[in-house]
Amino acid sequence: MKIKKVLVSSIQEGMQIITKELGEDAVILSTRNIESKSDSRENRIEIIAAIDETISKVTHEINTTQSNNGKNNNNGLKFGEDYVTEQINYSDGLKNQIFEIKQLLKDLSHRVKYKFNNYENEALKTIFKELLKFEYSEDFAYKIIDELADLYINNSSIEPKEVDIKNLKELTKDLILGNLKILPSINKSDKCTIISFFGTTGGGKTTTLIKLAILFKIIFNADSVILSTDVNKVGAIEQLQTYSSIASIPHYAIFSPEDLAIALEDYKAKDFIFIDTTGCSQQDKDSINDLKRTLDIIGEHFRFLVQSCNVGKATFRQIIQEYSTLNPSGIILTKLDESAALGNVIEVLSEVSLPVSYFTNGSRVPEDIEPANLKYLKQFALP
Ligand SMILES: Nc1nc2c(ncn2[C@@H]2O[C@H](COP(=O)(O)OP(=O)(O)OP(=O)(O)O)[C@@H](O)[C@H]2O)c(=O)[nH]1
Ligand SMILES: [Mg+2]
> What percent of the chain has a predicted confidence (pLDDT) above 70?
81
Q: Are strands 44-51 and 63-65 parallel, antiparallel or unpaired?
A: unpaired
Q: How far apart are CA 28 and CA 290, in angstroms?
A: 45
Higher pLDDT, 226 or 241: 226
pLDDT at 237 over 90: no
Question: Ligand 1 in contact with 338 (CB < 6 A)?
Answer: yes
Pocket of ligand 1 contains residue 362 by CB under 6 Å: yes
In this predicted model, what pLDDT tens digit does every residue of 196-215 receive, in sequence order? 999 999 999 999 999 999 99
Q: Is the CB of 211 under 6 A from ligand 1?
A: no
Question: pLDDT category, 70, cuts 50, 70, 90?
Answer: very low
Q: Are 43 and 17 in contact (CB under 8 A)?
A: no
Q: Find the 342 Cα to ligand 2 centroid distance in Å.
A: 24
What's the average model confidence in pLDDT over 179-183? Answer: 93
Output phi, psi for 4, to 5 deg: -130, 135
Residue 117 has what pLDDT?
56
- Distance of CA 231 from the midpoint of ligand 2 (Å): 10
Ligand nearest to the CA of 200: 1
Asked whether the beta carbons of 326 and 288 are under 8 A apart, the reply is yes
Domain spans of the chain, in order of start: 2-90, 95-177, 193-381
Q: Which of 42-46, 103-107, 258-262 has the lowest mean pLDDT?
A: 103-107
**pLDDT band at residue 82, thresholds of 50, 70 and 90?**
very low
Mutating to test ligand 1, I would choose from 201, 207, 228, 305 the residue with most ligand atoms within 8 A of its C-beta, which is 207
272/267 Cα distance (integer angstroms): 9
CB 171 within 8 A of CB 148: yes
Domain spanning 193-381 has what CATH number?
3.40.50.300
pLDDT surpasses 70 at 298: yes
Distance 34 CA to ligand 2 centre (A): 66
Q: Could you tell me if 292 and 257 are in contact, meaning their C-beta atoms sit under 8 angstroms apart?
A: no
pLDDT-derived band at 241 (thresholds 50, 70, 90) equals confident
Check pocket membership of 205 for ligand 1, CB cut-off 6 A.
yes
Closest by alpha carbon to 137, among 348, 352, 379?
348
How far is the centre of ligand 2, averaged over its atoms, from the C-alpha of 199 (Å)?
9
Q: Is the pLDDT of residue 56 over 50?
A: no
- Residue 372 scores a pLDDT above 60: yes
Q: Distance between CA 110 and CA 108 in Å, rounded?
A: 5
| 118 C-beta closer than 6 A to ligand 1 | no
Q: Report the separation in Å between the CA atom of 155 and the middle of ligand 1, taken as the mean of its atom positions.
A: 47
Ligand 1 pocket check for 242: Cβ under 6 Å? no
Q: What is the mean pLDDT of residues 250-271?
A: 94
Provide the pLDDT for residue 80: 40
φ, ψ dihedrals at 177, nearest 5°: -90, -5
> Residues of the chain with pLDDT > 90: what percent?
48
Choice between 237 and 205, residue whose per-residue pLDDT is larger: 205
Q: Per-residue pLDDT for 144 more than 50?
A: yes
Distance 281 CA to ligand 1 centre (A): 15
When the pLDDT of each residue in the chain is averaged and rounded to a whole number, the result is 82
